[in-house]
Amino acid sequence: MKQNNIRQNLSLSEIFRSFLVALSLIFYPLLAMPQNHTEILYIGTYSENNSKGLYVMAFNREKLSAETIQTVHDKKSPTFLALHPEKKYLYAAYREGKDENDPAGTIVAYAIDEKTGKLSLINQVSSVGASPCHISVDPSGQVVFVSHYQGGNLSTFKILESGGISEAVSFVQHEGSSVHANQNKPHMHAMIPSHDGNWVYASDLGIDQILKYKVNPKKGSVKKDPEIFPVKAGSGPRHFVIHPALPYAYSVEELSNTVGIYTIEPKNGDLLLLGRVEMLSPKIRSDYNAAADIHLSVDGKWLYASNRGQDNLAIYQVDQETGLLTLQEHVPTGGQHPRNFKVDEKGELILVANMESDNVVFFRINDQTGIPEPTGKSITIPRAVFIEQLFLKYPGPSMGMAF
């Protein structure tokens, strides 16, 4: 009887060992797979200079290299992109209309393959306005906001259960002008939602206003009587960024090449101007200058703003008590016309899209000074405009390739 028990125990042990061996054979390829190819870059472009539209690229963080794994060109010039908060969907603003009779642009919704990051079409709708130049998604993942530069208007769309988008729910036409030659009519440029999703801040370069709209996420709409915050005449507010932890926001002003500093009233989201700082370097002579993009570091200690003309990034230290900015340095972007840039979500890199020189340049952020340091690494992308970043949760075997 005792021998039978011993044999049975041995048998069970052998079965268990065999089971572990089988598991190791199944999962070893996944465990052995290089884990530095689990990032995707989505790059929006103008459909010029042989651009292939929207680029989907596997990014190798260790080597600072990228390989195109897909291109998408459903319409012309997918210049601006936005990820859904759940990272399952990507929304693209195309400058071309939905059909030949549509003078507006097109908004396209894509599903993201969770293993590869590749895109598949869900649906597309008219943007309603002319020349969509910016797209964003509210924090709850229920509303898409679109700004139209030439139309001088904005539109909103309800996100459907499929990840697709409805026809436009809200459409608001701005009116007015300002003092600069480029301000003879409204030029909507960006809509940035508040962290709680109650408000969205609309920057209109043409009429020198930042407008705060009340958001209705369930309907996918905005209330059409905004609170208006005028800015200095001729400044041209373009893009807007909100501090991740403090009640401050920053507006890059294209025409005056300045950054406006605001405090945000916690109760109602109102803006109060604290001051503004210059962006241009006195050491560089340039006849043309136009401020473009603005972002904060992940920890909120540094602010970056790009300038087209001097072709550099202005770096500021953010006072963590007052929100005020102190200029630290100007760093050349390694190309021409830095229209947009991406601060890496890990806080390690800055990726700059230099549109006129057809390249995306990689910088490494000094974790002590916040200064972007050149790496000598870049990729060629014709007419690069915008960069979005995705970390894959379930990378497929194809993402283990070295490049």
For residues 242 and 249, give the distance between their C-alpha atoms in angstroms, rounded to a whole number.
Answer: 4
Does one domain contain both 21 and 38?
no
User: Which two structure tokens, joined as six digits, stand for 69?
Assistant: 């794994």
Complete edge-to-edge strand list for the sheet that includes strand 54-60: 65-72, 54-60, 39-45, 384-391
Does one domain contain both 27 and 42?
no
Q: Is 298 within a domain?
A: yes
Give pLDDT, residue 394: 75
Does one domain contain both 47 and 1?
no
In the predicted model, what is the mean pLDDT of residues 190-197? 98
What's the DSSP call for residue 101? T
Residue 27 has pLDDT above 50, yes or no: no
Give pLDDT, residue 100: 79
Q: Is 403 within a domain?
A: no
Residue 164 has a CB neighbour count (10 Å cut-off) of 20
Does one domain contain both 6 and 61?
no
Residue 88 has a CB neighbour count (10 Å cut-off) of 14
Q: Which residue has the higher pLDDT, 291 or 1?
A: 291
Secondary structure E strands in 95-164: 106-112, 119-126, 132-137, 143-148, 153-159
Residue 191 has pLDDT above 80, yes or no: yes
Q: pLDDT tens digits for 302-327?
A: 999 999 999 999 999 999 999 999 99
Q: Is 4 within a domain?
A: yes
For the chain, give the mean pLDDT: 92
Q: Percent of the chain beyond pLDDT 70?
A: 89
Q: CA distances (Å), 39 to each of 62, 175, 348, 365, in order?
A: 11, 42, 14, 18
Give pLDDT, residue 20: 47
Phi, psi of 124 (to 5 degrees): -145, 145
Residue 276 has pLDDT above 60, yes or no: yes
Single-letter residue type at 381: I
Does one domain contain both 65 and 25?
no
Give pLDDT, residue 360: 98
Q: How far is CA 302 from the centre of its chain?
A: 18
Residue 71 has pLDDT above 70, yes or no: yes
Give pLDDT, residue 403: 58
Domain that holds residue 15: 1-32
Give pLDDT, residue 13: 53
Which of 36-40, 98-102, 154-158, 210-214 is least confident?
36-40
Q: Is 92 within a domain?
A: yes
pLDDT class of 30 with cuts at 50, 70, 90: very low
Q: pLDDT tens digits for 358-402?
A: 999 999 999 999 999 999 999 999 999 999 999 998 766 544 445
Give pLDDT, residue 29: 43
Q: Is 91 within a domain?
A: yes
In the predicted model, what is the mean pLDDT of residues 221-228? 97
Q: Is 384 within a domain?
A: yes
Q: Which CATH number covers residue 302?
A: 2.130.10.10
Give pLDDT, residue 11: 54
Does one domain contain both 1 and 49?
no
- Check if the beta carbon of residue 236 is closer than 8 Å to that of residue 183: yes
Strand partners, 44: 386
Residue 339 has pLDDT above 80, yes or no: yes
Q: Is 191 within a domain?
A: yes
Does one domain contain both 284 and 306?
yes
Does one domain contain both 197 and 240?
yes
Domain count, the chain: 2
Q: Percent of the chain beyond pLDDT 90?
A: 86
Does one domain contain both 338 and 224?
yes
Taking the alpha carbons at both ends of the chain, their separation in whole angstroms is 62
Q: pLDDT tens digits for 97-128?
A: 988 788 899 999 999 999 999 999 999 999 99
CA-closest candidate to residue 121, choices 86, 96, 91 = 91
For residues 402 and 249, give the distance between their C-alpha atoms in angstroms, rounded to a whole number.
Answer: 40
Does one domain contain both 5 and 90?
no
Does one domain contain both 6 and 59?
no
Does one domain contain both 113 and 24?
no
Three-class DSSP category at 22: helix
Give pLDDT, residue 35: 44
Q: pLDDT tens digits for 151-188?
A: 999 999 999 999 999 999 999 999 999 999 999 999 99
pTM over 0.85: yes
